[in-house]
Chains A and B, each alone.
Chain A
Amino acid sequence: EVQLVESGGGLVQPKGSLKLSCAASGFDFNSYGMSWVRQAPGKGLDLVADISSKSYNYATYYADSVKDRFTISRDDSQSMVYLQMDNLKTEDTALYYCTVASVYWGQGVMVTVSS
């Protein structure tokens, strides 16, 4: 059974930083791209960042709204994926999901950016 467990969310002030973690199990982690998708309250799903597998040279993608502020990374030896979020803005407030190829999802972790 695929399991994705996110951690690291919380309340942070504007311009602050947070690092989200996602522990994955139940599938061949090394073979799949991983993504972080966020959902603002009452809104739809927005891809934040994506990282491919080693086979595709760990290529990364970032939404324009987070480029140069967020960094996605992965540790295949630990089946972990991370999202380092710097210079946070109030509009980054959302529930952040870790996903495998956008088909399997964790329970999400809340990030609130407020002074």
Chain B
Amino acid sequence: DVVLTQTPPTLSATIGQSVSISCRSSQSLLHSNGNTYLHWLLQRPGQSPQLLIYSVSRLESGVPNRFSGSGSGTDFTLKISGVEAEDLGVYYCVQGTHAPPTFGGGTKLELK
């Protein structure tokens, strides 16, 4: 199975600060159809995970544009340009290129 390694495991930020989370895959996530199925989820406290970004860099409808995703192959990054209080929670990367889907270990975003 594909292993996704997220760093850092914990991130402390002040409101307005920009932060980045890394997700590295044990193998390329480029599908034979040309798409890369690497997505980012946010799980706020007490809630189920919600989709933020799909296919590396596409913003899910309703998600603020302070969130952005980038990367290719095995290295991917989620950036938050100006953290807001509602952004606190655990961020997960997930891949759907290779069966079975697998998840990163999560990055907990806390207020400093």
Chain A, interface size category, equals: 10 to 19
Q: Which residues of B contact A35 (CB under 8 A)?
A: 101
Number of residue pairs A-B, CB distance < 8 angstroms: 47
Residue ID in chain B nearest A103 by CB atoms: B51
Choose among A44, A50, A59, A103 the residue that contacts B106 (Cβ–Cβ < 8 A).
A44
User: Quick check: A97 and B100 within 8 Å, CB to CB?
Assistant: no
User: Quick check: A47 and B96 within 8 Å, CB to CB?
Assistant: no
Q: Looking at the assembled complex, report how far the CB atom of B104 sits from the nearest CB atom of chain A, in whole angstroms.
A: 8
Choose among B50, B51, B96, B103 the residue that contacts A45 (Cβ–Cβ < 8 A).
B103
Residue ID in chain B nearest A106 by CB atoms: B48
Q: State how many residues of chain B have any CB contact under 8 Å with chain A.
A: 18
User: Quick check: A61 and B48 within 8 Å, CB to CB?
Assistant: no
> Known contacts being A101-B96, A104-B51, is A44 close to B103, with CB within 8 Å?
yes
- Is B49 an interface position by the 8 A CB rule? yes
Q: Looking at the assembled complex, report how far the CB atom of B45 sits from the nearest CB atom of chain A, in whole angstroms.
A: 11
Choose among B48, B50, B103, B105 the residue that contacts A47 (Cβ–Cβ < 8 A).
B103
Name A3-40 residues within 8 Å CB distance of B: 35, 37
Name A75-91 residues within 8 Å CB distance of B: none
Taking Cβ atoms with an 8 Å cutoff, the residues of A that contact B are: 35, 37, 44-47, 50, 52, 59, 61, 97, 101-108
